[in-house]
Structure 1
Amino acid sequence: MLILKSPDRVKLIACSSTTSLIASLISSSKQSTQTHALVSQPDQQQLLSLLTHYSTRTHSLQIHSKLITTGFCRCRVDNTGILIWNTLLREYSLGIFPEEALKLYKQVQEVSASSSYTPDSFTYSFLLKACANLDQPIKGNQVYALVIKVGYGFHVYVQTALVNLYTVCGCLVEAKKVFDEMHERNLVTWNVMITGFIKWGEIDMAQSLFDRMLVRNVVSWTCMIDGYTRMNQPVEALRLFIWMMIDDGIKPTEITILAILPSVANLGALDICQSLHSYSEKVGFNAFDIRVTNSFIDVYAKCGCIDSAFKVFEKISTENRNLVSWTSIISAFAMHGMATEAVKWFEKMEQMGLSPNEVTFLSLLNACSHGGLVDEGLEFYSKMVNRYQILPNIKHYGCLVDMLGRAGRLEDAEKMVMQIPAEIVNVIIWRTLLGACNFHGNVEMGERVMRKVLEMEKGYSGDYVLLSNIFAGVGRFEDAESVRRCMDERDVLKIPGLSLHALQSRNKQTMCMH
C-alpha cells in the first residue's frame, strides 16, 4: 500500500476527489434539474458541506461552474438551496475579486425566472459587503435601493452592512445617518460604526459612541484600544486596556494584545510588557499565534531589554520561525547597537532558506550604520539590489547616507544622495548629510548641502542651527552669527528642546491578569 506523506499530494488528492464528488452530485440530479424538479435534499446538503469545508477560491469556482452548467439555478430550490447561493456570494464578496459576487447575483437572477429562488436579507448583506470591498458606494446605493424595493430595508443585518459600506468608503456622514435612523442595532452595528470612525481618525467621535454603548464586548474595547494606539495616544490606550480588564472583567484576546503592545513599546513600560507576556503564555497565545510572539520580540527590544527579546525568539521552534520572527530579532539587535549579532542572525536566516524582504534589509543596514560596519553595509545593499531584486526606498538610502556620514565618508555620502531618484528624494536625506557635515566640520559641503535644504524647505530651525554650528566649529563666528540673524529675519522660531526623563503615573496601578 502506498502511503502519501506530502502535503501537496494530499491537497491534490483532496482537490481531485472534491471535483469528482461535485460532478457526481450534480450529474445525479441532472435529469431532475432539466424538468425543474426539486433537487434532492441530501445532494443539496452535500454541496453545502463542500462549500463550507472547502472554501478556497478554486473549489468555489468549481462548484459555481457545475451549478451553472447543469442548470441548478433553473430548478426550484428550498432553504438549503438559497443557503448554497448565499455561501457562494459570501465567498466571492470576501475574496480577492468581490465583483464576482455581483456578477453571480445578476447571473442567477437572469436565469431563475422559472425557479422559486428568492434572495433573503443575507443575500443583500453579502452584496453590500462586496461593494464595500470594491470601494464602490454608488453600486452599494443601487443595491440598497433594490433592498428597499424587496422589503429588507430595515433589516438589522442589511443596515449594518450598509453602515460598513459607508465607513469603508469614507462616507461618514451617510454612515452616521443610517446608524442614527436604525430601529434596531446589535453589537456588530455599534462596533462597525466605531471602527469606521477610528479608521478615518475620528477618535473623539468613536469615544463618544463607545460611551453610549450599554453592552460592550472584547471587540468594542479592542477597537478603541487600537484607535488610541494608532493615534499615538498610548497612555489613553493603556487606560482603556486596564479599564476593560479590571472594571468590566473582559479578558483580552490575542488581537487585543496585538493592539496594546505598540502603546507599551511607545511608553517603554517594561513591567507591563512582562505582565502581558506572562498572561499570553498562560492562556496560550504565544503557542498558537506567531504574531503575538513576534510582537513581544519587538516590544521587549523597544523597552530596552534585549535579553528578554532574544529569549522569546529562542523559544520559537525553528519550523515556526517566519520572516517576521527573524526580522524582529535582527531589528532588535540593530536598535541596541549590536551590529555583529544582527549580521550573524541575518546569515543564519539565509542558511535556513528564507529570503529577506525590504524591512529585513532596512534593519540590517540600520545595524551596520550604528555599528560602523560600512563595508558590510554596502555589501548587503548590493546583495539586496542585485541578488534579491529589491528596489531600495528612501529609508534604505537614508541608512546608507547615515552610515557613510558617520564613518566620515562624506563625499561618498553626497554621491549616494545625488543618485537617489528625484521622485523619492526628500529634505530629510539632505538633513542627514548636513548633520554629518556638522559632526565632521566640513564647512564647504555643509554650505552646499544647506542650499539644497533651503530649496525644499526654509522654515525648519534645526537646519539653520546646524549650519551655524558648522561655522562656529571652525571659528567662523561672524558667519555663524549671520545665519542666526537670517533666522530672525525669516521669522524662523527655534523649538525648545524637551527631555523625557521618566514617565510615571501618580497613582501607579498594578495589572493583575487572571
Structure 2
Amino acid sequence: MTTITTSVPIQFSSTTTATLSLLEKCKSMPVLHQIHASVIKSGLTSHTFLMSKLISFCSNSRSPSDMNYALSIFNSIEEPNFFIFFTLIRAFADTPNSLQSILLYSKILSTLEEFHGLEFSIPSVLKACGRSCAFEEGRQVHGQIMKTDIQCDPFVSNSMLRMYFDLKDIRSARRLFDTMPHRDVYSWNSMVAGYLKAGEIGLASEMFREMPERDLVSWNSMIDGLVKHGKCELAREIFEMMKHKNVVSWTSMISGYMLNHRPKESLDLFRKMLTSGIEPDAAAIVSVLSAIADLGFVEEGKWIHSFVCRSKFLSIDSGVIGSALIDMYSKCGYIDNARDIFKSISHRRNIGDWNSMLSGLAIHGLGKEALEILRDMERMEIEPDDITFLAVLRACSHGGLVQEGEMCFKTMCGKKYKTVPKIQHYGCMIDLYGRAGQLEEALNILQEMPFEPDVLAWKALLSSCLKHGKIEQGRFAALRAIELAPKDSSSYILLSNIYAKTGRWEDVAKIRSLMKERGIKKVPGCSSILINGEIHEFLVGKEIDSDVIKKLEEMVFRLNLEGYKPDLDQVLVDVEEKHKESLLSFHSEKMALAFGLINVNRVLNFFERIFTYCLQKETSSR
C-alpha cells in the first residue's frame, strides 16, 4: 500500500541544491530527462520535494507524453505527499486522459481514514468526472462533499454545477442550484452557460432575466451561446442592450455571424467595432478575414492586412492571423499575395500556415506547386496531418493530376505517415477520378471505401456525370444523394441539368415538379459588390434598377462588337436562343459589375466637373 506523507523534512545537500537550480532553469522536456537521469544516478529519488518538482514541470504542458512521463515518476516514489497527488489530479483533469484524475483520487482515498485535507483536489476531481462522463463516480464525490463543511464553499458548489452540465444531467444541476446556500454571479453564469450548452434556450433566457446581478461574463455567455444555436437576432438584441461591451462581446458577435454564414453582417459589425474605439483581438481579425474571403472584397482585406502590420498588439506571424491572411488572399484570387505572406512567416510557420497555403493552391488548381510544398515539408521534417493531405489531394484534383493524386493517397496511408484516410479524403479521390472522366474508378472508390458514402461523395460523382454527359450513372448518383439529403436542392438541380443537357425536357419538368411538391426551392444566385464602404447585393429574379439594365445592355452590345459569343449550352432551360442570351445577360455577377461601372463613371464624372469648375474659376480670375 502506498504511504502518503503530509510533512517531510527537506534536507538540501549541495547536490540537491544544484539539481533544484538546474530545474529552475529548465526549459524543455529533453533537458528534464537529463536532470531526471542525474537524479537517479545521484540516488536522490527518495527526495520527495525534488521529485515533486520534476512532476510539476511535466504537468505544466498537459501534453499526453509529458503527463505519462510524470506518471512514471510518480510510480517510482515510495511515499508521495499530498502536493504530488494534487498536482497530478489537477493536471490530468485538463487532459483527454482525465479519468486518471479519478483513479489517483481513489488511490489517495484508500490510504486515508478521514476526508480532511482533500478539499483542494475536489474541484479538479469534479471536472474530471464531467469530462470522463463518469456519472456514478461524480455522484459519489457529491455524496462525500455533502458530509463535510466544504459543501458551503461556492467554488466547490460551482464545480459540481459544471460537472452535472458536462454529464448532461440538467435536472440534478437545477436541484443543486436551488439548494445552494450561497449563490454568486459565477453560479448564475454556470447555469446560463450550462442551459445554453444543452440547447435549452428558453431556460437560459429565463435564468438570465432572473439574475440579481450580471457581469460581462453573463452577457458574453448569452451572446456566445445564442449564436452557436443560430439565434443571431436574439444575440444581437442582447448585444445592443449591453451598456459596457469589451472585445470579447464584439468578437463573439462578429464570429457568431460568420458561424452562421452571414459574412456581410460580420464585416459591418467589425467596422462599428473599430469606430467604437475597441482594439480588435486575433479572433476578431480572423473572423473578419474569413468574412472578406467569402465576400471577395480584397481591398478590405488589404486594409486589414495593413492594420495588423501597424498594430502593437497583433502580428501576422502570431499563430492564426497569418493563416487567415493566406486564406483570404487565396479565396479573393490573389494567390501571389498569399505566397508573399507565406514567405514572410517562414521562420515561425505552424502546420496551419502550411495547410492554408496548400488549400489556396488547390483553389487555383496549382497542383504541382502544392506537391512541391509537400516535398518542402518533408525536407524540413514537418509532419503533415490529415488536413495537409486533404489540401494536396484537392490541388491534384483541380489540377488534373491523377497519378500524382494516387501517389499522395498511397503516401498518406503508407508506413511513413500512417494517416488513416477519412471520408473527405475518399471524396477527393472520387472527385479526382470524376473530373478526369475516369468514372469507373470513381465508382470503385465509392463501393470500396470503408464508410457508407455521404451526400458529398455522391454529389462529387453526380457533378462529374454532368460534366461528361453520363446520364444513367448521374441518375443513380443523384437518387442516392437525394435519399441522404432530401431537402438539399443542389442534387435535384444537378439531376435536372443532366436531363436538360441531353434535351430530356419531360424529365426536367418531372424533377421541377417533384421539388415543388416537396417544398424545395433553389437558392437564387447572389453576387455582391463593395461601393464606398457599402455592400450592394444582386439576386437573380429580383427587380433590377433601370440604370443597371441600361448598363447591362451597353455591356452586351460592346461585347458583341468585340466578337463575344455567349455559351448557350450553359442555359439549361427549354427556351428560344434569343431568350437564352437574355437569361445569360441577367446573371447576378453581370448585374453587380454593371452597378460597379455605373458608380465608377459617377465618381469620374464628379471629379471631372470639379476639375472643370476649378479650371474655369482660375481662368476667370486671370
TM (norm. structure 2) is: 0.62
Matching residue's letter, 1:500: C
Matching residue's letter, 1:325: D
Is 1:277 matched with 2:305?
A: yes
Is 1:252 matched with 2:284?
A: no
- Describe how 1:81-120 pairs up with structure 2 within 5 A: 90-98=90-98, 117=117, 119=119
Contact 1:368 1:377 in 2 (8 A): yes
Distance 2:485 2:33 in 1: 59
- Matched with 2:403 is 375
1:353 Cα deviation after fit: 2.0
Distance 1:133 1:223 in 2: 24
- Aligned equivalent of 2:380, options 352, 355, 366: 352
Distance 2:61 2:485 in 1: 51
Matching residue's letter, 1:253: D
Contact 2:46 2:77 in 1 (8 A): no
Secondary structure of residue in 2 paired with 1:504: strand
- Matched with 1:77 is none
- Matched with 1:314 is 343
- Going from structure 1 to structure 2, the CA distance change for 1:269 and 1:373 (only over 3 Å counts) comes to same
1:332 Cα deviation after fit: 0.8
Secondary structure of residue in 2 paired with 1:502: strand
Distance 2:395 2:124 in 1: 48
Contact 1:22 1:63 in 2 (8 A): no
- Aligned equivalent of 1:500, options 522, 526, 532: 526
Q: Which consecutive unaligned segments of at least 5 residues does structure 1 have? A: 28-45, 74-83, 510-514
- Matched with 2:331 is 302
- Matched with 1:79 is none
Matching residue's letter, 1:352: M
Distance 1:168 1:489 in 2: 38
Distance 2:293 2:28 in 1: 39
Distance 2:45 2:261 in 1: 52
- Matched with 1:78 is none
- Matched with 1:480 is 505
Structure with larger Rg:
2
- Aligned equivalent of 2:357, options 326, 329, 333: 329
Q: Number of paired residues?
A: 471
- Matched with 1:225 is 254
**Identity over aligned residues, as a percent?**
31
1:169 Cα deviation after fit: 5.0
- Matched with 1:11 is 32
Contact 1:132 1:168 in 2 (8 A): no
Distance 1:325 1:208 in 2: 36
Distance 1:383 1:371 in 2: 19
1:425 Cα deviation after fit: 0.6
Contact 2:191 2:204 in 1 (8 A): yes
Distance 2:267 2:140 in 1: 39
Contact 1:137 1:169 in 2 (8 A): no
Secondary structure of residue in 2 paired with 1:309: helix
Contact 1:194 1:210 in 2 (8 A): yes
Secondary structure of residue in 1 paired with 2:384: coil
Contact 1:137 1:165 in 2 (8 A): no
Contact 2:496 2:511 in 1 (8 A): no
Matching residue's letter, 2:526: L
Q: Which stretch shows the higher mean deviation, 495-504 or 346-355?
A: 495-504
Q: Which consecutive unaligned segments of at least 5 residues does structure 2 have? A: 1-21, 155-181, 536-622
Contact 1:461 1:492 in 2 (8 A): no
- Aligned equivalent of 1:150, options 152, 156, 160: 152
TM (norm. structure 1) is: 0.73
Contact 1:140 1:162 in 2 (8 A): no
Secondary structure of residue in 2 paired with 1:503: strand
Contact 2:317 2:349 in 1 (8 A): no
Write out per-residue CA displacement over residues 14-61 of structure 1, whole angstroms, 9 at most, x where no aligned residue: 55689999964659xxxxxxxxxxxxxxxxxx9899959963454976
Task: Please tell me the root mean square deviation across aligned C-alpha atoms, in Å.
Answer: 4.5
- Matched with 1:267 is 295
- Describe how 1:112-261 pairs up with structure 2 within 5 A: 117=117, 119=119, 129-130=127-128, 133-134=131-132, 139=138, 143=142, 146=146, 149-150=151-152, 152=154, 153-161=182-190, 163-170=192-199, 179-247=208-276, 249-261=277-289
- Aligned equivalent of 1:425, options 446, 453, 458: 453
